[in-house]
Structure 1
């Protein structure tokens, strides 16, 4: 049985969330989180509704970015940042395909998101995470994200975390 992994190193690249690759990885993100929420495979209608309710088109330009992790040529994860206000960004759309979990993909994505965000003048990254996304919550805590005062009224914001980024010297 093969693992499905290539021998090529993991690569990270910024992509437009409206591009075919961006839309495809975001759809996989929503399939995963909607399915986890309901405890069963997500329907196409549920995924479409979630993508409309929580658009990702602002994850580009001055408003934010979407980063894709590729194993060889295959997208295996993503993560994004959207600017909330000057110096504050929201970490969002963090996803690692089940076939790639446990290989450091999430940690690599977060390190690069933090680096790009710091270069863009973001000093605080904040995020929300649901209880059922336990692996993500553990990863955020391990990487220095700490519980903060409630900033979101979303029913999906079981935990609210933030991390202060080190300013990058030009």
Structure 2
């Protein structure tokens, strides 16, 4: 007898999306508020003010996560968008992963793994052999997710103001084999 219960990742569907849709913009706002408030709590002992958060969001546009320079992915859990990720071209064979977010209430349900699986496919569709990203040390859930999904720590490739650790993933070693 087989277990017919759905796997956690089967509850998620990830597709490319227009980064300017209301759904995408809402997720990007939730992402920004989440990471910014974590920073404010850790370094300033308080939440960010609405003015600080909206100002920071405005200074961090995501319009490069659209063709021809990139793409945007939405993850849906039971049909509702609850996660996102963006890819932007870094160089001829490398894309940079950014804006990875799963709403806190759904973390641990397989959404991050489903998202990163779709990221690999999307990066290959862009002609990339490698994915790179930067993140902060305090974003432990994200760092754990990356390591569990084949990313390895790499030397710094940028000097972003919040970049504290850098990861990379070689897609050529993981390329699907044709029969």
TM-score (norm 2): 0.84
Structure 1 unaligned residues grouped into runs of 5+: 1-7
TM-score (norm 1): 0.89
1:129 and 1:158 in contact (8 A); partners too:
yes
Matches within 5 A, 1:23-102: 23-39=25-41, 40-102=46-108
2:128 is equivalent to residue 122 of structure 1? yes
Separation in structure 2 between the aligned mates of residue 26 and residue 146 of structure 1, nearest angstrom: 25
Instruction: Show CA shifts across 1:104-133 (max 9, x none).
Output: 101110110111111220111000010110
1:27 and 1:47 in contact (8 A); partners too:
no
Seen in structure 2, the aligned counterparts of structure 1 residues 45 and 168 have a Cα distance that, compared at 3 Å, is farther
2:19 and 2:66 in contact (8 A); partners too:
yes
Instruction: Tell me the CA shift for residue 52 of structure 1.
Output: 2.1
Aligned residues: 163
Structure 2 unaligned residues grouped into runs of 5+: 1-9
Q: CA RMSD in A?
A: 1.7
Misfit runs of 4+, over 3 Å = 167-170
Query: What secondary structure sits across from 1:66 in the alignment?
Result: strand
Aligned to 2:154: 148
Separation in structure 1 between the aligned mates of residue 50 and residue 23 of structure 2, nearest angstrom: 18
Separation in structure 2 between the aligned mates of residue 97 and residue 136 of structure 1, nearest angstrom: 12
